[in-house]
Amino acid sequence: MTTASFVPFQPLLSACNACRKRKVKCSHEEPCAPCVTAQISCEYAQDPRRGGNRGSRAVVLNELRRVQNQGSGVQNPSSSSETGPGGINCETGCIANVSVEKCIEAYLRKIQPTVPFLTRELLEKEARAQHSSPISRHFIVSFCAYVASFGCVFDGLDVGANALVPPTLAKVFLDAALRYHQPSRAAALTTRSVFISFFLYGAYAGVGNYRQGWYYLREATTLFLMCGKEDAQSPFTPAIRGQLFWILLVSERCAAHGIRRNRPITLQPGPDSPQLYSADDFGLQCLANLFFRFDETFFAIWNGSRPECTREWLLELERDVRIALPEVLDQLNSDQIANLKVSQFWLRIKLWELFPRFGYLASDSIYECLTFMYPVGVARELALVANNLPIESLQIHGVGLAEKVFDIACALADVLPFLPSQISRARGGLLPVDQLTQTATLLEKLPDGKTKFLPLLFTKLNDLPEVTGRLRETLQVPSSLSLSSSVYEDEVASSLYTHLRSVGGNVRESG
């Protein structure tokens, strides 16, 4: 005989007062989702009356809002002077005394030329909708956090005397954006959700939290693949989706993730990749032209899952990256040029690290990338570019650009012990150690340069006291400047020096 299993009695969840009166499905949360969307208070009665009113749902909703607004002394949600969820002042549109309007202006003036995937019309439309749409509110606050993570982004804008400094402001915006976070957003599969994830990634990366930033970047790339081309509807047009694709692809491969920290990548370039045709996209085209070559084959070699690599393949890739940018970039502004040139120098250095790994360095070669002098030449080119640009053009790109300059300095520091002692002057009239001093001087002026990256560089140079002393004298930094070993291990790769040591003796012996 079959015995029926006992199922305990589950009481029916009652709807909140507002949903019951409006005759809509309640989510039984506090507050429930329908009430949050409608921007009305959510209350549960102990002994609810059945049936509710029989009028129109819209009429009931308006009546609920009217009664609640009368009770709270508020006439309209969008005109309230109170600070709403996430810290937005509904009357001024401000968070931490900085208006959403100022964030939009800062993006259009400083960021859009480099990251051109949003227009004024789209941003202003989302800003107007934030008072009635939770997803638009999350979009706008996340966007503000992303903008505030850039260095010098509010320079020239009157943001008020009471505004916080950008690093602190970015964290305040980020905290506000996280208070809006809704787990159901990721299931919506819309381009707006992709943007929110990307903004959160950029904000986290901008304040130095790369692990959490990478989580949201992976979320953004996954949502991008899942939502498909059919979602590219106004205002998120196919052109915006194409720009977003390349910005996500570059972000995955940038200093903070795929290459520098050996993280996996999601987006792959191919014949079906979106095309960039607009003249306004020229800067993004140049950036994409630098990074699209770093495909699955490269990352298999870079991460060690593919143990072999030919010298010819590396030489061809190095040449392609070295000539990827047009010789003349006059149609771009200084901020764009700074980002492009520093990214190119950094990619060349990371590629060069593969040559000693596979034993391809030589004491003398017609190919400069096969010699120990290669980082010296890259550092010299970096100094020339930096000297011809305003320092603000490099600072605007935040910690991400500082990391790239730091990696170039580290590669130069690694080769110093292996350079022939008879080298009197590098091309350009500077000793290699002087070239390192120039690079460190630039690094000091960049975000987190003096507080983080210089101490890391000095820690790396502990075995070269004469070089360290020279740098300290030039930069006038205290000898006590240092960081914890855990930070050093996270930021500084020791594999390059190990590979240089393994090939250095053979190179010198060969003449």
Distance CA 249, CA 247 (A): 5
With H, G, I as helix, E, B as strand and everything else as coil, classify residue 83: strand
Mean pLDDT (whole number) for 68-90: 41
More confident residue, 421 or 182: 182
Share of the chain above pLDDT 70, in %: 74
259 pLDDT exceeds 60? yes
More confident residue, 120 or 489: 120
Q: Residue 97: phi, psi to the nearest 5?
A: 70, 15
Q: Residue 204: phi, psi to the nearest 5?
A: -65, -45
4 pLDDT exceeds 70? no
Q: Is the peptide bond before 31 cis (omega within 30 degrees of 0)?
A: yes
Q: Which pLDDT does position 80 carry in this prediction? A: 36
Please check whether residue 394 is in contact with residue 335, taking contact to mean a CB–CB distance below 8 angstroms: no
Mean pLDDT (whole number) for 305-321: 94
CB atoms within 10 A of CB 325: 17
Between the alpha carbon of residue 361 and those of residues 367, 426, 495, the distances in Å are: 10, 19, 15
DSSP structural state of residue 82: S
One-letter amino acid of 56 = S
CB atoms within 10 A of CB 176: 22
One-letter amino acid of 199 = F
Average pLDDT across the chain, whole number: 79
Domain spans of the chain? 17-75, 85-253, 323-509
14 pLDDT exceeds 90? no
The per-residue pLDDT for range 96-151, each reduced to its tens digit, is 557 888 899 999 999 999 999 999 999 999 999 888 888 888 999 999 999 988 88
Mean pLDDT (whole number) for 500-510: 54
The per-residue pLDDT for range 199-246, each reduced to its tens digit, is 999 999 988 888 899 999 999 999 999 886 655 555 788 888 899 999
In the numeric block, the tokens 């970039």 are attached to 329
Distance CA 194, CA 242 (A): 13
Q: Which pLDDT does position 90 carry in this prediction? A: 43
Q: Which pLDDT does position 2 carry in this prediction? A: 44
Instruction: Choose the CATH number for 17-75 among 1.10.150, 1.10.20, 4.10.240, 3.40.640.
Output: 4.10.240
Mean pLDDT (whole number) for 454-463: 84
418 pLDDT exceeds 80? yes
Q: Which pLDDT does position 95 carry in this prediction? A: 58
The per-residue pLDDT for range 320-369, each reduced to its tens digit, is 999 999 999 999 999 999 999 999 999 999 999 999 999 998 877 899 99
Please check whether residue 363 is in contact with residue 510, taking contact to mean a CB–CB distance below 8 angstroms: yes
Q: Which pLDDT does position 18 carry in this prediction? A: 83
Share of the chain above pLDDT 90, in %: 38
386 pLDDT exceeds 60? yes
Residue 21's pLDDT band (cuts 50, 70, 90)? confident
More confident residue, 385 or 476: 385
- Comparing CA positions, the residue from 22, 48, 51 lying closest to residue 34 is 22
Bridge partners for 426 per DSSP: 430
Distance CA 408, CA 373 (A): 13
Contacts for 55 with CB less than 8 Å, ≥ 6 apart: none
Distance CA 259, CA 252 (A): 8
Least confident span in 118-122, 163-167, 498-502: 163-167
Say how many Å lie between the first and final Cα of the chain, rounded. 92
Q: Residue 338: phi, psi to the nearest 5?
A: -60, -45
